[in-house]
Amino acid sequence: MAKSGFLTEPSIRFSSLLWFRARNVTNRVKYALGGAVLLLALVGIAVWATGQASAVRFAWWTKDLSAVSGGGGAADEPTAGEVATEPKTLRLSKQSRRNLDLISKPVRVQDYWRTLQIPGMVVDRPGQTDRGVTAPLEGVVEKIHATGGDTVHSGEVLFTLRLFSESLQETQAALFQATREVQLLNEQLSRLETAARAGALAEARMIEFRSQLRRQETQIQSYQHALEVRGFTAAQIANAAEGHFLSTIEVVVPSAATASPAGLEVQELKVGLGEQVQAGQQLATLADHHALYIEGYAFKNEASLLSRAAAEGWEVEVEFTDDAFEGWPPLDQKLLIRHLSNSIDPETRTLGVYIPLANQSRSYQKNGQTFLSWRFRPGQRVRIFVPVEKFSQVLVVPSEAVVREGPEAFVFRQNGDLFDRISVHVLHEDRRHVVLAHDGSVTPGLFLAQNAAASLNRVLQTQSASGMPANVHVHADGTVHAAH
């Protein structure tokens, strides 16, 4: 037996066996750990490759390949100095364009006048529009031949008056009496002339008869003139001289050289049947609306601009706000400022601006009566645009064709189903138009959306937020292609 402190052969054999088994276990653990590390490395490589492919695809969509790093690392954010590109193109289907009532037109270079807008109203033209009809004599309204809204012409009967003036009856009687006296004097003078030629009558007697005859003829002329002033016609005066006294008189439409061929409209009746009227009292108002005024209301500090436009003969534009004028012919007239009022209204603190307006009319028949319908009517409100400054060689689009985002202004160019947003420089804008600088941002002849720019911009922002550009699409296999 071995001494104490030394290993025996069996113990050595047992120790060796334990060492070999431990080494085998260690190798197995090493192999397992190595396999796990290799597996993790392969998974990491696969994840990295997938991320790189997604980054490349997203960069291709946004046309910004600088978003992907070149050294193999992930490109989650732009590096220093890089700016993300904002999408500028959207796709809009034909149905969407119809829902928006979208209109596209080619833009062109032109001159544009900046205008001063003032409110206004269509008004009567003093001395031409309204005409009063008065009673020539004192009497009672016996019959009314036309009523409000009727169309009448010169010479047509409006009223029949029964006369009861004593002075009128006396004048007619005096005229008849003077006429009879003249007839008797002429007969007597004829007989006396025969006696005077035979020497049976003195010449002085003949002179006296001739003088008396001239006095009667003078009185007849005086009575005729009195009746003529009161409205009697030549035929009526002749009838009164024959003893057929006038008891009623007809009031007719006065003749007017400036009246419209379409006629005059009975605008208002001032009297009724059986009403007693005095000489000179107004019976009715007739309206002739073929010549009117547009009256604008401007402030004192705008007078210099308006005076210059009037002096230079610059044509103004008028927008009639109350009617659409369907069916009327084009308004073929040049609207110019005639004059400005030299007084300020104490209530509104505005001065009047007057523009002549030639009206349009059409007539229709109903129950044997003719009625007029005018295109423009007094009281109709308008907007007046007076030119004050000229922009030369610019692009002009409707106000709805431009959308703003802070200091930026954009328009949309149509190319089929695609709409490109273009930044522009605005020189001037008002309620109706926007004036763009001709600086090359928009080429003349391109089709621009004339309306719904704000809606198009919202669609563009929505498509941008979804991450899918309008001009590409993704196939089922995940590949990205341009729209076709």
> Which H or E run contains 355?
strand 351-358
Q: What is the pLDDT of residue 215?
A: 87
C-beta of residue 447 within 8 angstroms of C-beta of residue 461: no
Average pLDDT, the chain: 80
185 or 473, greater pLDDT: 185
DSSP state for residue 117 in the 8-state scheme: E
Q: What is the mean pLDDT of residues 337-345?
A: 95
- Model confidence at 401: pLDDT above 60: yes
C-beta of residue 483 within 8 angstroms of C-beta of residue 471: yes
Q: What is the pLDDT of residue 93?
A: 87
Q: What is the pLDDT of residue 191?
A: 74
Measured over all CA atoms, what is the biggest interatomic distance in the chain, rounded to whole angstroms?
224
For residue range 151-191, list pLDDT tens digits in order: 998 889 999 999 877 788 888 899 998 888 888 888 777 77
For residue range 67-112, list pLDDT tens digits in order: 333 444 443 444 444 444 566 888 888 898 899 999 999 999 999 9
Q: What is the pLDDT of residue 54?
A: 46
- Model confidence at 117: pLDDT above 90: yes
C-beta of residue 199 within 8 angstroms of C-beta of residue 212: no
- Model confidence at 61: pLDDT above 60: no
Measured between alpha carbons, how far is residue 248 from residues 136, 141, 155, 172, 177 in Å? 12, 10, 17, 13, 21
The domain defined by 89-113+389-482 carries CATH number 3.40.50.720: no
In angstroms, rounded to a whole number, what is the distance separating the alpha carbons of residues 420 and 220?
94
472 or 235, greater pLDDT: 235
Q: What is the pLDDT of residue 365?
A: 85
In angstroms, rounded to a whole number, what is the distance separating the alpha carbons of residues 289 and 338?
18
Q: Where along the chain do its domains lie?
A: 18-85, 89-113+389-482, 130-287
In angstroms, rounded to a whole number, what is the distance separating the alpha carbons of residues 270 and 273?
11
Q: What is the pTM of this model?
A: 0.62
Of the listed ranges 5-14, 145-154, 282-291, the one predicted with least confidence: 5-14
Measured between alpha carbons, how far is residue 44 from residues 34, 375, 411 in Å? 15, 82, 47
- Model confidence at 291: pLDDT above 80: yes
> Which structure tokens are listed for 430?
């008002």
Of the listed ranges 86-95, 196-205, 375-384, 444-453, the one predicted with least confidence: 196-205
CATH code of 130-287, in short, is 2.40.50.100
For residue range 240-278, list pLDDT tens digits in order: 888 888 888 889 998 764 556 778 899 999 999 999 999
Q: What is the pLDDT of residue 328?
A: 85
Q: What is the pLDDT of residue 244?
A: 87
Query: Would you call 420 helix, strand, or coil by DSSP?
Result: strand
